[in-house]
């Protein structure tokens, strides 16, 4: 029976459904399973399972207080025809590596993998815990979480969702996806600031006890759809196991053969899920953490110092434009030997001075990780060269990983088979992609570029793009980063 405890040691252990409801622990820490369960089936058995069956086996191991019926219902409602392929997460082979395409859901980014199930996990948790309050989901987004969460929670009874995004920090298609969201329970706000400002604002509201009381008095309680919620993390473990099992099934790897995974990283949620999979027993050798020019994590893996005191760079991979990777706290807690006090100290240093240094002993426990980064020119050339060699078009986030993977191989001569997490469809970032391919003359808008991309790649424009092309903007609120709490109060009428 897995229970969840705070990485900062406060409060007692809670059940999975309680952790999903709360989002963040009361002391500001993140929930962490008191032990990481072993793979519940053999790799061979997994290789015979559908995505949904794999999801059930993996998730039941973590979400102990969900009944079989509850969990199977959540899975059935999440991984259905919202995805444009029955296999949910297909693998594509290009130029010597496997691309695990995690962008076949409703909003064409990997956030759909977890956010299509989170609303179901949450409403199930509401019922299980006899909660009478309405749940208010507060989310900061660097572009992709927002739309995926809006799509997941729109129209879900007993919930409201408020999304904050950096007004000038997302792609035009990302923004259009969000501001055209339908549903009376959805609210979208642009903030004058960057993603870290949005994330800090949300964390501040979560930590405000007076606000919490005001909410409760009015029949509301907060939860989070950000990757700090373990209801985001657990569904993400599934596709690493599924990918391995598919490779095994197709005879691309032998049973037990180790693979490397390469993950374009921002908030450290996706790669942490891969690390959980490894800790469950999935044969993963190296976890390659790929950053863009906001390379805090690259520096951290090199030096053991995490330092956010630097300029924030707006790149062509906006969902990775992050200087405070929230989920890294879970890794820090783990390599501190689950010493919550030590972890709390480091996180306090991060919030007061913007940096911390881990001990040599902790650093030694990071051997499984390799940090790399790609600058803007390298990212664009990764898109162009893959297209030229194989006709396969990837988005800028995936391109960062693709480039780092090549760098890693050249540097280490490690030729272990590699799976790259392909986190977004190129159709979400048509301008950057077409520019990289030398096919943007500066005249066309992002949607016209989608038409051209379709001609170039031979891949049909996804419904997620055609569907928002001409629909009206429904959300146009913009606020300062200091005004976030007021905006929430206004929306809730409190």
Ligand X SMILES: *Cc1c(COP(=O)(O)O)cnc(C)c1O
320: contact with ligand X by CB under 6 A = yes
Q: Are strands 4-6 and 369-373 parallel, antiparallel or unpaired?
A: unpaired
Window contacting ligand X (CB under 6 A); options: 9-17, 59-67, 105-113, 355-363:
105-113
Largest CA distance in the chain: 61
Residues 414-453, one symbol each (x = binds ligand X by CB under 6 A, - = not), give ---------xx-----------------------------
386: contact with ligand X by CB under 6 A = no
Q: Minimal CA–CA distance to 109: which of 427, 475, 454?
A: 427
Residues with Cβ within 8 Å of residue 383, at least 6 apart in sequence: 393, 394, 396, 399, 433, 436, 437
Give the residue, chosen from 100, 109, 243, 358, that forms a contact with ligand X under the rule CB under 6 A. 109
| Residue 439 annotated to the active site | no
Question: Closest approach of Cβ 221 to ligand X, in Å?
Answer: 25
Give the residue, chosen from 319, 343, 379, 402, that forms a contact with ligand X under the rule CB under 6 A. 319
Question: What tokens were used for 469?
Answer: 């092309």
Residues 140-169, one symbol each (x = binds ligand X by CB under 6 A, - = not), give ----x-------------------------
Q: SS3 string of 5-47?
A: EECCCCCCCECHHHHHHHCCCCCCCCEEECCCCCCCCCHHHHC
Do the beta carbons of residue 170 and residue 225 sit within 8 Å?
no
Active-site residue, from 22, 44, 72, 111:
111
Give the residue, chosen from 23, 231, 269, 426, that forms a contact with ligand X under the rule CB under 6 A. 269
How many angstroms separate the CA atoms of 487 and 146, rounded? 17
Window contacting ligand X (CB under 6 A); options: 42-50, 248-256, 261-269, 336-344:
261-269
265: contact with ligand X by CB under 6 A = yes
In the complex with ligand X, the residue whose CB is nearer, 66 or 240, is: 240
Window contacting ligand X (CB under 6 A); options: 124-132, 161-169, 268-276, 446-454:
268-276
Question: What tokens were used for 278?
Answer: 């490894």
HSE at residue 277, side-chain half, CA atoms within 13 A, is 34
How many other β-carbons are positioned within 10 Å of the β-carbon of residue 261? 28
Residue with tokens 């630097």: 310
How many angstroms separate the CA atoms of 213 and 219, rounded? 10
Q: What are phi and psi of 456, to 5 degrees?
A: -70, -45
Question: Closest approach of Cβ 319 to ligand X, in Å?
Answer: 3
Give the residue, chosen from 111, 286, 344, 431, that forms a contact with ligand X under the rule CB under 6 A. 111
Q: What is the dihedral of CA 164, 165, 166, 169, to 10 degrees?
A: 180
Give the residue, chosen from 7, 186, 267, 294, that forms a contact with ligand X under the rule CB under 6 A. 267
Question: Closest approach of Cβ 232 to ligand X, in Å?
Answer: 9
Give the residue, chosen from 105, 152, 266, 462, that forms a contact with ligand X under the rule CB under 6 A. 266
226: contact with ligand X by CB under 6 A = no
Among all residues, which ones are annotated catalytic? 111
Chain residues in the site for ligand X (CB under 6 A):
109-111, 144, 227, 264-270, 319-320, 397, 423-424
């Amino acid at each position: 029976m897995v229970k969840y405890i705070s990485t900062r040691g406060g409060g007692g252990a809670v059940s999975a459904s309680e952790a999903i409801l709360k989002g963040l622990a009361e002391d500001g820490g993140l929930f962490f399973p008191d032990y990481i369960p072993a793979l519940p089936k053999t790799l061979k058995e997994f290789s015979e399972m559908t995505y949904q069956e794999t999801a059930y086996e993996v998730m039941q191991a973590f979400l102990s207080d969900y009944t079989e019926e509850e969990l199977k219902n959540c899975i059935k409602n999440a991984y259905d025809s919202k995805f444009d392929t029955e296999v949910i997460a297909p693998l594509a082979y290009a130029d010597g590596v496997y691309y695990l395409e995690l962008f076949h859901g409703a909003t064409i980014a990997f956030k759909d993998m977890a956010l299509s199930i989170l609303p179901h996990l949450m409403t199930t948790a509401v019922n299980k815990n006899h909660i009478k309050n309405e749940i208010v989901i507060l989310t900061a987004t660097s572009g992709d979480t927002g739309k995926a969460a809006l799509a997941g929670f729109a129209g879900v009874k007993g919930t409201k969702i408020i999304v904050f995004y950096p007004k000038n920090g997302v792609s035009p298609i990302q923004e259009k996806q969000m501001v055209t969201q339908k549903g009376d329970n959805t609210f979208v706000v642009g903030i004058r600031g960057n993603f870290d400002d949005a994330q800090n604002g949300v964390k501040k509201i979560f930590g405000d006890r007076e606000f919490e009381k005001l909410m409760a008095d009015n029949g509301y309680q907060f939860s989070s759809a950000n990757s700090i919620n373990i209801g985001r993390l657990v569904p993400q473990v599934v596709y690493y196991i599924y990918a391995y099992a598919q490779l095994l099934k197709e005879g691309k790897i032998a049973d037990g053969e180790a693979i490397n995974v390469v993950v374009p990283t921002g908030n450290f949620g996706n790669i942490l899920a891969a690390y959980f999979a490894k800790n469950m027993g999935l044969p993963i050798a190296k976890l390659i953490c790929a950053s863009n020019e906001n390379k805090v994590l690259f520096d951290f893996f090199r030096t053991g110092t995490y330092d956010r005191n630097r300029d924030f760079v707006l790149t062509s991979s906006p969902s990775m434009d992050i200087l405070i990777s929230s989920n890294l706290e879970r890794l820090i807690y783990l390599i501190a030997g689950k010493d919550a006090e030590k972890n709390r100290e480091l996180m306090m240093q991060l919030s007061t001075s913007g940096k911390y240094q881990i001990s040599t002993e902790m650093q030694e426990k990071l051997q499984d990780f390799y940090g790399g980064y790609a600058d803007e020119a390298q990212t664009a050339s990764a898109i162009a060269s893959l297209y030229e060699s194989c006709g396969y078009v990837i988005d800028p986030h995936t391109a960062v990983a693709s480039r780092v993977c090549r760098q890693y191989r050249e540097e280490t001569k490690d030729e272990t088979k590699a799976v790259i997490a392909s986190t977004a469809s190129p159709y979400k970032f048509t301008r950057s992609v077409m520019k990289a391919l030398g096919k943007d003359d500066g005249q066309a808008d992002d949607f016209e570029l989608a038409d051209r991309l379709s001609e170039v790649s031979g891949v049909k424009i996804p419904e997620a793009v055609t569907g928002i092309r001409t629909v009206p903007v429904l959300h146009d609120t913009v606020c300062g980063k200091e005004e976030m709490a007021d905006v929430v109060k206004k929306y809730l009428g409190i």
